Amino acid sequence: MMGGIILAGGQGRRMGGLMKALLPIGGRFMIERARDNMLPLCGSVTAVVASEDQAKLLSGLKLPCLIDTMPGQGPLAALHTAFEYNCYSTLWVSACDMPFVSDTAAAYLRQQMEESGSLAAVPEVNGQVHPLHAIYRAECLEQAERCLQEGDCSMKGFLRRINYVRVPEKEFHAAGIALSFVDNINTPEQYEEAKLQKGV
């Protein structure tokens, strides 16, 4: 069983400051969609937020929250917080602004990680890696900490330090897994497009 982590501490600047986790798609908040899709594979699902105020906004959703110990430093710092307080050997990490999170894709990623003996499995779609819908072993904490101590807050810098397997899109195609699980919402236009995709 894995632990599920939803990174929900972003400022939503390109969405006019709205908390993207609480944007509705198909009758559910985006963070609820992520939680519900993660629960079949996860012993628990926890959100990492930037502040007590954000945690209060999520308080009615029956979703435990961790407060980022280094808010404003980006997703790697939030991931580090998740690693620090994690009690699972493996974490499935997703961003809250990915409305089509896929447990099928996550199960496939975990399989690839285990078969390769890697510390993580990260999808590669359209020539780009997507570390915010990925599977990580708890041992990644050490490298995440080292990155942050050295002032490198980038996910790319973190990935350079760990042994991870890239899972290309052709493998998801072959497994019958739709690639929409890596879609994320950054702008009002992308949000409207995502709502249409689900016919809402």
Task: Report the run of H or E that residue 106 belongs to, with start and end.
Answer: helix 103-116
What are 115-155's pLDDT values in tens digits? 999 999 999 999 999 999 999 999 999 999 999 999 999 99
- The answer to which of 7-16, 26-35, 175-184 has the lowest mean pLDDT is 7-16
| pLDDT band of 12, cuts 50, 70, 90 | low
CATH of the domain at 83: 3.90.550.10
Q: Round the average pLDDT of the chain to a whole number and report it.
A: 93
What per-residue string of b and e applies to 151-173 under the rule 16 or more CB within 10 Å gives b? eebebebbbebbebbebebeebe
Task: Report how many domains make up the chain.
Answer: 1
What are 37-64's pLDDT values in tens digits? 999 999 999 999 999 999 999 999 989 9
Q: What is the pLDDT of residue 9?
A: 87
The reported pTM is 0.94
> What angle (nearest 5°) sits at the alpha carbon of residue 10, between those of residues 145 and 185?
120
The DSSP code for 162 is: S
Task: Give which of 3, 77, 103 is closest to 46, Cα–Cα.
Answer: 3
**Amino acid identity, position 47:** A
Which range of residues forms the domain containing residue 171? 2-197
What are 65-117's pLDDT values in tens digits? 999 999 889 999 999 999 999 999 999 999 999 999 999 999 999 999 999 99
Q: What is the pLDDT of residue 200?
A: 44
**Angle between helical axes of 103-116 and 30-38 (0-180°, round to 10):** 50
